[in-house]
Amino acid sequence: MVKIEKPLEIEGVQVQIEWLKFRIGTSFFLPCIDHDRMAASVVKRATNRGFRVKTLARIENGMWGIRVWRIA
């Protein structure tokens, strides 16, 4: 049985992260304003899967958010 994980909620918008496709060395960007809260949520979910990630608050394409890299 495959467990469907609850999507992350980014300031009222639900985002489904495809964790099975998240390989070491890859990254994704999540637009958000409260980057500390979002980073903590992503790190918690990644840790629960046995992943190590690095996050960085940044502006990309004019949008404030966080970039998340899988490092292990």
Global pTM reads 0.86
What's the confidence (pLDDT) of residue 2?
A: 56
What's the confidence (pLDDT) of residue 1?
A: 59
Residues in a beta bridge with 60: 63
pLDDT tens digits, one per residue of 10-26: 778 788 889 989 999 99
Q: Is 61 helix (H, G, I), strand (E, B) or coil?
A: coil
Q: What is the mean pLDDT of each run of 10 residues along the chain (72 residues)?
A: 72 86 96 92 93 97 96 96
What's the confidence (pLDDT) of residue 72?
A: 95
Euclidean distance between CA atoms 61 and 50, whole angstroms: 31
